Structure 1
C-alpha cells in the first residue's frame, strides 16, 4: 500500500482537529508538532485498516450494483417459446 499522504491544507486541518480533541475531550493541551507526529503514527500504524475497510466497502457496493445490473439484463430477455408452431 502506498504511504498515506495529505495535502498541506488537509494535514493542517487534521492537526487542528486533533489539538481541539485533546483540549476538549482530554483536557490536555497538545502542540502542533506532537499532534502532527500522532497523525503520522496513526496513518502509518492503522491507516491500512481504514484503507482496507474502504476497499471492502467499495467491493460490496460494486457487487450489489453488478447484481442489480444482472437482474435488469435478465428482465430484458424475451420469451423464447415458438408461438408460431401452435398457430
Structure 2
C-alpha cells in the first residue's frame, strides 16, 4: 500500500491533537518531534487497517443502495 502522507497543515493539526491528548489524558507533555514520530508510526502500522475498513464500509453502503434501487424498480413494475 502507498505510504500515507498528510499535508503540512493536516500534519500540524494532528500533531497538536496528539500533544493535547498526551497532556490532558496522560498528564504527560510530549514534544512536536515525538508526536510526529508517533503519527508516522500509527500511519505506517495501522493506517492500512483504517483504509481497508473504509473501503469495506463504502462497499457495504453501495450494496445497500444497489439493493434499494432493485427493490424500487421491481415495485414500480407492479
Q: What is the TM-score when the length of structure 2 is the normalising length?
A: 0.95
How many aligned positions are there? 78
What residue number does 2:77 align with? 77
- RMSD value over aligned CA atoms? 0.9
Structure 2, unmatched stretches of 5+, are none
Tell me whether 1:46 sits opposite 2:46 in the alignment: yes
What residue number does 2:65 align with? 65
For residues 5 and 69 of structure 2, the distance between their equivalents in structure 1, rounded to whole angstroms, comes to 35
Higher helix fraction: Structure 1 or Structure 2?
2
After TM superposition, the runs of 4+ consecutive aligned structure 1 residues lying more than 4 A away are none
Q: What is the TM-score when the length of structure 1 is the normalising length?
A: 0.85
Structure of greater Rg: 1
Greater relative contact order, per chain length (Cα 8 Å cut-off, separation 6+): 2
